[in-house]
Structure 1
Amino acid sequence: MTDHAIPHPDETAARTAFWEGVHHDKDVDGVSWWQSVPELSLGLVDKAGLGLDEPVIDVGAGWSTLVDHLLDRGYRDLSAVDLSATALRTVRDRLGPAGADVTLTVADVLDLRMGRQYALWHDRAVYHFLIEPEERADYLASLDRSLRPGGWLVVATFGPDGPTTCSGLPIVRYTHAELAAQFPGFHLVDTAGEDHLTPWGTSQQFTAILMRRHRAEH
């Protein structure tokens, strides 16, 4: 994978304004993707078998409770990234003193430069918003910079029978095979899925994959 052109500032600003608006105008349980316990994600993280000191990053984290649950399991090097400062302030307040060492960063995953590499990259419901090839190339460049050789990748998107839009935006639905094919330089370790119930009781099909980055590029 190679770096792609840095997203235009106007594009990043527009995405930031949109997601800041979503998190400002809605309650935590007023968004379709909310879940109090991210069981699908936790199950795939468990299968990676990481040590508790190994660094984990959750991109497009929003209000997700993944870092809360990983803290409870003893993980000590956690980062969460989102375009919305409002969302991350809510997470900081929710974590309280127990989350003092969790790194919360307002940033665009399409130009993510954390200055370090992680053992596991987690993304629930970001990748399916990337409908343009250029956006997906930028995402892969950020992943390339941020995940160490031999690192683990967990990605979940809407499945083939899932919704065609989310928050009013078009998305791309994936089968397990289609999603895994998006990530050259990785091999597929496991697949999973769930019919996620929104806070108002409708069902959304999710496809999820666990992949591992090759230790050396082939």
Structure 2
Amino acid sequence: MANDDIARPNQPAARTAFWEGVHNDKDVDGVSWWQSVPGLSLGLVDKAELGLDEPIIDVGAGWSTLMDHLLERGYRDLSAVDLSVTALNTVRDRLGPAGADVTLTVADVLDLRMGREYALWHDRAVYHFLTEPGERADYLASLERSLRPGGWLVVATFGPDGPTTCSGLPIVRYTHAELADQFPGYRLVDTAGEDHLTPWGTSQQFTALLLQRPLS
């Protein structure tokens, strides 16, 4: 659970400044969550069996290569959201002309208003930073605005044996059952996990789920 002794950026401007600082101060492979191939995420996205024109959004995308790999698989309606313009500019430069149609948006996931609905919402490591009930309620409100009825949710957090902090911030660790309970009414379709190896060789346990939003 959270360590209250660690200061947390609780307001939107503070969150933006914090994550902009993280991405300005480190190289792409200098953050613990970096992975060249997001195999855990891709495996769960595959199980949703979406059509290639179905819209997918990746929240808290950072420097993730998920967009790169989804483009390679032929998906054509892709969006990534992050608080850091630096992170998204890095993604844009990396994708190059192939990613010209990928929508990259600087926005706060706790008040996300994209003006459209998506077939799949992907979150590899935002949710475990939400240590307060109000933050989790705001996240769920953004999810409800953004994910269409019958849409798919891929969400991953640190597992019960994972780290207790990330980037100096406290996090909440979840078992599969505990994480599924955070999304009442959603149908649990599949569970997954991995021991992610950081760029400096330490292991981080991740818990991941594929859930489906009810049709009504």
Q: What interval of TM-score do these two structures reach, taking the shorter chain for normalisation?
A: over 0.9
Report the 3-state secondary structure (helix = DSSP H, G, I; strand = E; otherwise coil) of the residue aligned with 1:20. Answer: helix
- Letter of the aligned partner of 1:127 in structure 2? Y
Counterpart-to-counterpart distance in 1, 2:77 and 2:127: 23
Q: What letter corresponds to residue 143 of structure 1 in structure 2?
A: L
Letter in 2 for 1:90: T
Shift of 1:72: 0.1
2:6 alignment counterpart: none
The offset of 1:185, in angstroms, is 2.3
- AA partner of residue 22 (structure 1): V
Q: Which runs of 4+ in 1 moved over 2 A?
A: none
The separation in 1 between residues aligned to 2:67 and 2:93, in whole angstroms, is 13
Matched residue, 1:70: 70
* 1:126 equivalent in alignment to 2:96: no
**Which residue of structure 1 lines up, in the alignment, with residue 195 of structure 2?**
195
* Aligned residue number for residue 157 of structure 1: 157
Partner of 2:61: 61
Which residue in 2 is equivalent to 1:15?
15
Question: How many aligned residue pairs are there?
Answer: 207
Per-residue deviation, 1:118: 0.1
**One-letter code of the match for 1:88?**
L
Structure 2 residue aligned with 1:117 = 117
Deviations 1:42-66 (A, max 9, x none): 0000000000000000000000000
Distance 2:175 2:213 in 1: 20
**Any idea what the Cα deviations from partners look like across 1:54-98, whole Å, max 9, x if unmatched?**
000000000000000000000000000000000000000000000
Taking the aligned partners of 1:160 and 1:25, their CA distance within structure 2 comes to 29
Kindly provide the CA deviation profile for residues 16-67 of structure 1, in whole angstroms up to 9, marking residues without a partner as x.
0000000000000000000000000000000000000000000000000000
User: 1:162, 1:184 → 2: CA distance?
Assistant: 24
Structure 2 counterpart of 1:107: 107
**Letter of the 1:25 counterpart:** D
TM-score by length of 1: 0.94
TM-score, L = length of structure 2: 0.95
SS at structure 2 position matched to 1:115:
coil
Gaps of 5+ in 1: 1-9
